[in-house]
Each structure stands twice: as structure tokens, then as C-alpha cells.
Structure 1
């Protein structure tokens, strides 16, 4: 099993083009099931989650080719309605195929999805919305059997702005008769990207990114060529690394508007940041300053996916910071590994009190989830001595060659078998 070996303690410097968005491309790949014509997905990152999604498409009868950050999906042969359990277990976001398979076949069967163990993350919101649209559901033996005989367009109000539920309902309703209105949907940029992709295929959807999405179903979608947005979480990770290690980096191929709140926090920490089109200049020539309070919230609030990388950047800050995690109850698993490196962190319920220390030392640590694993890499880069990060399979789900990326920024990091 691969490990990451890091020799830290030096500032970062260099230029990096940020990968395409993992969280955007996965629902887009699922949505290709809604047509019989080929779809070309450009700026498609080379991630294990992406290849898991391609394997799901193949299991359903699609031809799926991947080469040079471009995926080409030929869905005309897709007749499958059941996603194999082993593929569902490979990633949490596999649940998004539910809406796409229902939209295509009017029936579907899935098991409960896998992925990072960040908490309960129930899919009740998905199922409740599907029932309201006329989907009959039967849960037995760990599987969910779905059948749609008569679609019922209506207004759906989400009690919580679930990203996955919003995506599932958008895909189903895009090819279902009538107008469906989503109130209090998720507003993430990835939702906007899914809307834009579906509209590129001929759908009629407006309002993504706001508190109300209107979907007018059409009878047929066509193939298209589409470029995925940049990965705002990957970009945030590299920016947090520069804050932790110091130095100057240039991130290209980014959307700064998608990162406004994270960039604001980094400025409060003392970073000099310049935004120019699709570029972000990041300069950090001082010890980071603590931030009094950061709370994770649904977009446009502070992203839960940025919580762990930000905490890594605050480990050596001047003063004490409080980070509150309100989205996932188990998203502080990286804290115990930080403590092995000399960090001073106290957990009180859903709050982490981070008291900055003068130095961190290298250690052997284990990644327990995707973003926590990336945060351990940041900590290793800012620590003195050698750090070994194990269980990099989690990191590979969302970062395209994270060792190579940090090498391009001057980091002393490499994979070891």
C-alpha cells in the first residue's frame, strides 16, 4: 500500500494549475445516463472516485473512455437498473446515480453507499423528495428498490440544503413531465455546474445557485461537450498549505469567486492574496495569525471540506482559534494525528480549540478520510523532520497526484510503495 513521505519545514514557491472539480464531475458523469447520445466531459480529473463512477456507468451498459482529462460516455446501450454493491461501497456520492437511473429507466436498485465515514449522512432527504414525486420505495436487506410509474411534479421544500438530494432531484425532473420547483436547495457552485451541463444537453432549468430552482421537464436530452469547473476545495487545500508553510504560490485555472470566504479567512491570518481572472497569487511571509471563530455551514458559508486544511494552517498560528463543525459530526478524525505531531488542540463537542504552537515535528500518521488526509499532508509540509502519511487511498479519491502537485510548489514529498 502506498504511503506519502514528507520532509517538511521549508516554504512553498511555484505555480500550479488546479484540477477539475471532483464534486462537480461526479453528478455530471451520472447525468450522461439521461441521453442516448455521446457526451464529452473535459477537465475531468484523474481520481479514484472518477474511475469508480466510470465503472458504475460501464456496469449499467455504457461505454466509458477516459484519456487526457477527457471522459467520453456512450450511454446508448445502458439498460441496467441495479448498481453493484461493491461499486456503491467505493464512494459516498454513488447515491447520485439513483436520480439518473430513475430518469432513464423509471426504476432503480441501489445499496447504501460507502465512502469516508464522516457521520450518519442519511439519505432520508433524497428518499423523502423522491416519494413526493411519485417514486415507490422498498427498503430491504440493505438495498433500496425504486419504481416510478406516474411522475407527480410539485414544489419540494428541503428542510436542509442537501447537495446530493438536490442533484438527484434535478436529474430526475429534467426528463420528467411538468414543472418541479425546489425551495431551499443546495446552492454550491457544483449545483450550478450540473444545471449548466443539463441545459447544454437541452434541459430547461433555472435558478441554480439561488434559494429556488425551477425545472421544466423535457422529453429528450442530447449529447454535448462540456468542461467541468475548477476544484475549489483542491485550490483551498494548496492555499492553506502556503499559509501553513509560508512562501509564494500562483494557482491557475481557478474560480476565485467560489472561494471568497476561505480567501477572506486566509487574509485575516495574514496572507497577501491577489485575484486576477482565473488566477490567485498567495503570499505568506509571516507566522499565521489565529482566527477567533470559523463555523462550517452550507454554501455560501465556510465549506466543511475546507475545515481540516484550514485547521492544519492554524496549528502554528499566533494565538488560539476556534473551529466549529456543524455539518458532519465525525469530521475531527485528523485531530488525533495532529496531536502526534505536537499540535495543541482541544475538542469540546462540535468545537475544536486550536492553540498555536511554535513548531511541529514529523510523525507517522494515518489518513482517515479525504480532506483530513490532505490536512495531514499540509501539517507534514510545515513540520520539522520526516512525516509518513499512510492510507493515501482516501487522499487519492479527491486529489490528482497530490505529491506531484506539491513537488511543483517546492515541497519535498513523494509516494513510497
Structure 2
């Protein structure tokens, strides 16, 4: 089995490699190819990756290359984890929206739109090159904004599934609080990427006992603290919102915080510099502890599980993924991309039935889906008016004066990445 990681020079990659090494019985990778245009960075990551495989006795071969076509040729699955513009672009995404009093964040609001506009054309070009060399390959998208990028790939006819680590993070945390194995926890996870709610926590599978009320009664303070939301709000909702919902439920508070604190992009850039120095140490043969603070917790387990199921291996029968709605949430279009539990097999994901969704959540999902429609149109066709319409539609913006100003700011800060600008 050959797997290719596009964006293989990312400091995330040793987390992924560690998962491939530990879980080789689930996903027997014979060749792992790391593709990245940053050759020096790629060699640092690739060197550590080989040492991790060697330490854990993995017989697979690790190849590094800057040649995308060679890297994806013959791959059974291609994982996308790229960041167009790097951390410098992320820093901008987190900064200029704050001038209008709007959230500055890399996947939500104006910053998220900027990332989508930079990313969608690049990802579609990569996917076309994968299709030319191996049309049967699965494309697993971990590149943000996952919902918009996955929808672009699906609309273009690619065999793709979107992946996020939010659900597996909740699964692990809830399992620890309940004192059970993670595999015993099944989430009633519903929404869009980075706009999700856990409406049930079941033990043993989709038909198992819902212990969410017990979880909130006994561990509500811990859950609320992790979300950085008041316990009273979590109790009133009766569900567990993704921590990304804090941008909606506490928007002004978050803006005040972001204006006074060091940006996440600056923190990550500093971490990445330190991590790359560590990766260059020939004595290092395991992922460093610092990597856990970089983000992407449990990404490797989720990626291995999904790839194994898609490629006919021993992955979990049910996994949370991003895929076409196709009636799963009847209040959204069939071609919307939703993030829900699905049965996974070599045919791809088949979403499980979802109980009726409370209008409190359905309304916000519908609003953000409309924004994502317009965002994808702007990413595919360009133009100032399309950018403006997408920003005006976003529930975190919504005022024409803000949308106008943010449109000009977005284009000015991203001109080098926008072919039409």
C-alpha cells in the first residue's frame, strides 16, 4: 500500500507518521511519500519520520520529494494537509478582521474566507494531477476550511472524504471522563465542519445508551471549562457545542481577547521554529512532547482509521467525516457538505440517520451553508462582488459596511494568491 501526504513538510507530519507506525496492523503502509515544495524543511521532517519508523520496527519505506506528480503516482490514498501562504498568511487572517471588530480566525469569518480563496484552486489542481496518475485513489482532505475544500473536490468529481479532529478529540475526552475505552464511545455528532454539536454520547454504538445527560450532570464544569463557555449555557443547551461555537456564542468577548493577546499564528510560528530545530537532531526518534501543543491532536488515529476503512482494511465501522448531505439533514441542500457519523467502507462514507435537529442549531447551519455556497463560488470564479456577497452572508459579519471594508482588506492582503485580483 502506498500513501502520499501532500504538505508532508508540515510540523504536523511526525504525529501522522507516529500513528502509521503504531497502527501498522490496521493500515499496513509499504511506502509513505511526503511531498512538499520546501525542500530543506521536508528533509528535516523526513529524517525524523524515518527514525520513527525505524525505532518502532516499521518495515515501510519513506520517500521525500518536491515532485508532486511523482509523489502521487500509484498512490492508494492521498492526504492533503497544506497551508497556502504558510503561517504568514494565517497571521494576516487572524489580524485584519479585528480592525472591523470581527473575529480574526483562520477557518471562521473573513479569515476563513481568505483561506478558502487561497486554497481551493491549489487543491483542485493537485486533485486533477492525482486523477491523471491514479483515478481510483482516495483523497483525504485535512486542509482547512475542510467543509468548503471537500465540497470543491466532490463537485469536481473526485473520490474524497473530509476529515477533522474535533470529533475524535471529544470522543477521547468523554471516554476519559466516563472511565471507558474510546472505542466504546459513539457520538451523535451533527453539523458542518467547525460548526458542530454533540447531541448524544452513546456507549457501545449508534443504538447504545445515551449517557450525555449523565456526562453533563457529573462533569459539566470540566466540559464547559474546555469549551471556554459558561456551565450555565452548556446546561441550558443540553448538548456539547464544538469549541468553534464560542466564536458565535461569545463573539464580542472573543474579539476583546484576540485584540489583547498574542495571536495563535504567532504562537504556532514560534513552536514550528522550535520543532524544526528538534527534528534536525539525529538522536530524536519519536514525536516530541511539544508537538501536542501544535494542534491536530489525534489526527493520526483519525487518518489511519479512515484510510484503513476506505482501502478495505480494519478501520472502525463508524467515523465522523465530511461528505455530501444527500438528505441526511433535510433542511440543507443535498450537495451541502455536512460533518456527521457515517458508515465507512471501500465505497466511501454513508451517513447514518440523524434525529430531528433543534431549530437553534439548524438555523445557524443553514445560514453558514449559504455562506459556504457563496464562498466556494468566490473561490472558483473570483471577483470582488462575489467576495463581498460571501462576507455579507456570514453570520459573524452580516453588515454591508463591514463586508465592504473586509472585502478590500481581504483582497489587499491576499493579492499574490488570487489569480483574478
Instruction: Tell me the TM-score normalized by structure 1.
Output: 0.24
Q: Kindly indicate whether structure 1 or structure 2 has the higher relative contact order, using CA contacts under 8 Å at least 6 residues apart.
A: 1
Instruction: Tell me the TM-score normalized by structure 2.
Output: 0.24
Q: Choose between structure 1 and 2: higher helix proportion.
A: 2
Q: Choose between structure 1 and 2: higher strand proportion.
A: 1
